[in-house]
């Protein structure tokens, strides 16, 4: 489902929840890191891409005119209430701390949207290492920009969202997730220098390849505290090597200083230094569409994460082994775990025309090896956070235009048309269809005014 299709759905869900159409609709993508794992907090390079999975928020000013932001989740999770008349602090439910932190950061910058009614719907898998938290943070910041008309600098926006995750959610994340959710571009990866925060778009112009993401659907509890432990080990290695961070160490530095550090610290340093180099080489390979080389770098990354950094797990290893057994002849160039580790997802570079067979084989073999069903999907590089043009009115224009040619009074539900009509009456044709083509709107209004549409329809205008 594209973000526009999802936005239409969420606009409809908002109206069903709050009894009126939304005024603003915004979307922010999740991400997959193609290569460059655990390098961000070592001032290194990462190479993520935005994926075609999104957090979407639909919103309107509070119905009661109050100063409270109410965020409801389409999944039915406990709603979040944020009172803007008091200092915004962490609280329950825990998932609300991500938007709370963003809202607090925006308020500190004079970005005050006032009371809002918000509906959130996210298709980014939770706990899969695809950055559902950053997509929620960036979506929140993008909504506040849209409501207030105050635009943040993209880097400032990313850092604001990162700070929210640090201080309100208690997660000491790097900057990659927020950067790619904001700055992603269709058909491009983003090479991010985590020290200078400079970014470079890396085009993926070859339509014959796709990224296949497989969720192990496991998250091992032993991951608790491991992230902080790895950071401390990297800092210890940098101190022994006499460099500000492992980004500054040469490839042979760990071997030359092996006698000065214990084996664990040595292997952590070897992974990070090698991973930074692999990331830069992978970016070069992608620019040249040298897919076999990129694939080998992805495998090397996984082996290093498994053996030197020790953040893989049986299930991740199983998916990589299956991908490797399929091989280039079967359409897989390379595969690796992605994200922090101990569960979550793998990412594979695959031939587009072999996707169906690869998915079938990986799902069957993974189930046989682990007894677990994997969730597998493909994605091309997606665009970053966006305000859906025209808000609710623009969405209904699109939906009605798509449906106008097949409107049938016998199957279009009356509620669907009334919902569409609310947009049309409120916003006027000049806003709804700037190009002057109002056939679709007129068809809907005629249906509404004549009462020709009957309840209980099977086809909807707004989905």
Instruction: State yes or no: pLDDT of 70 exceeds 90.
Output: yes
Measured distance CA(25)–CA(239) in Å, rounded = 48
CATH number at residue 298: 3.30.70.890
pLDDT, one tens digit per residue, over 168-214 is 998 878 889 999 999 999 999 999 999 999 999 999 989 999 999 99
Q: Do 10 and 67 sit in the same domain of this protein?
A: yes
Kindly tell me if the per-residue pLDDT of 422 is higher than 50.
no
pLDDT over 70 at 75, yes or no: yes
Could you tell me if residue 462 is inside a domain? no
More confident residue, 10 or 436: 10
> Within this chain, do residues 8 and 89 fall inside the same structural domain, yes or no?
yes
Residue 287: which residues within 8 A CB-CB, separation 6 or more?
202, 203
Say which residue the tokens 């070897």 belong to. 270
Query: What single DSSP character describes residue 79?
Result: P
Task: Tell me the pLDDT band of 222, cut-offs 50, 70 and 90.
Answer: low
Give the per-residue pLDDT at 205: 87
Calculate the average pLDDT of the chain: 86
Residues 121 and 9: their CA atoms lie apart, in Å, by 9
- How many structural domains does the chain have? 3
Q: What is the residue whose two structure tokens read 């009509």?
A: 421
Which of the four pLDDT bands, split at 50, 70 and 90, describes residue 94? very high
Q: Are residues 28 and 172 located together in one domain of the fold? A: yes
Do 295 and 226 belong to one domain? yes
pTM score, whole prediction: 0.81
Active-site residue identified among 73, 117, 177, 416: 177
366 CB neighbour count, 10 Å cutoff: 23
Q: Do 74 and 10 meet the contact criterion of CB atoms below 8 Å apart?
A: yes
Residue 353 known to be catalytic: no
**Residues 150 and 125 occupy one common structural domain:** yes
Same structural domain for residues 365 and 397?
Answer: no
Domain extent for 191: 3-202
Does the residue 385 lie in any domain? Answer: no
């Amino acid at each position: 489902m594209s973000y526009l299709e999802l936005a239409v759905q969420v606009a409809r869900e908002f109206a069903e929840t709050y009894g009126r159409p939304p005024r603003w609709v915004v979307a922010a993508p999740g991400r997959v890191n193609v290569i460059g794992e655990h390098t961000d907090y070592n001032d290194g390079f990462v190479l993520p891409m935005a994926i075609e999975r999104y957090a979407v928020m639909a919103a309107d000013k509070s119905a009661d005119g109050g100063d409270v932001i109410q965020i409801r989740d389409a999944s039915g999770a406990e709603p979040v209430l944020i009172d803007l008349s008091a200092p915004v602090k962490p609280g329950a439910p825990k998932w609300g701390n991500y938007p709370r932190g963003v809202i607090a950061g925006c308020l500190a910058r004079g970005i005050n949207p006032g009371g809002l009614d918000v509906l959130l719907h996210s298709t980014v898998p939770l706990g899969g290492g695809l950055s559902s938290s950053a997509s929620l943070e960036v979506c929140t910041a993008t909504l506040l920009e849209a409501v207030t008309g105050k635009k943040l600098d993209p880097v400032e926006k990313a850092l604001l969202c990162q700070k929210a995750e640090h201080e309100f959610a208690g997660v000491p994340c790097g900057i990659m997730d927020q950067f790619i959710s904001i700055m992603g571009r269709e058909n491009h990866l983003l090479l991010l220098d985590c020290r200078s925060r400079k970014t470079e778009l890396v085009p993926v112009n070859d339509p014959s390849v796709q990224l296949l993401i497989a969720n192990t659907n496991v998250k091992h509890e032993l991951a608790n505290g491991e992230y902080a432990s790895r950071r401390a080990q990297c800092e210890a290695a940098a101190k022994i090597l006499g460099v500000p961070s492992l980004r500054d160490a040469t490839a042979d530095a760990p071997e030359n200083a092996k006698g000065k550090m214990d084996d664990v610290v040595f292997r952590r340093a070897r992974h990070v230094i090698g991973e930074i180099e692999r990331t830069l080489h992978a970016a070069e390979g992608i620019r040249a569409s040298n897919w076999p080389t990129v694939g080998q770098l992805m495998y090397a990354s996984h082996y290093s994460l498994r053996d030197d950094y020790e953040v893989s797990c049986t299930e991740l290893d199983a998916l990589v082994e299956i991908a490797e057994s399929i091989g280039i002849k079967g359409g897989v160039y390379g595969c690796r775990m992605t994200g922090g580790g101990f569960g979550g997802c793998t990412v594979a570079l695959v031939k587009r025309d072999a996707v169906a067979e690869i998915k079938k084989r990986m799902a069957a073999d993974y189930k046989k090896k682990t007894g677990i069903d994997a969730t597998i999907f493909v994605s091309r590089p997606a665009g970053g956070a966006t305000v859906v043009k025209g808000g609710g009115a623009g969405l209904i224009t699109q939906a009605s235009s798509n449906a106008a040619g097949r409107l049938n009074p016998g199957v279009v539900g009356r509620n669907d048309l009334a919902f569409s009509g609310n947009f049309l009456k409120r916003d006027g044709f000049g806003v709804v269809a700037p190009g002057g083509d109002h056939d679709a709107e007129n068809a809907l209004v005629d249906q509404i005014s004549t009462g020709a549409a009957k309840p209980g329809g099977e086809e909807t205008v707004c989905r």
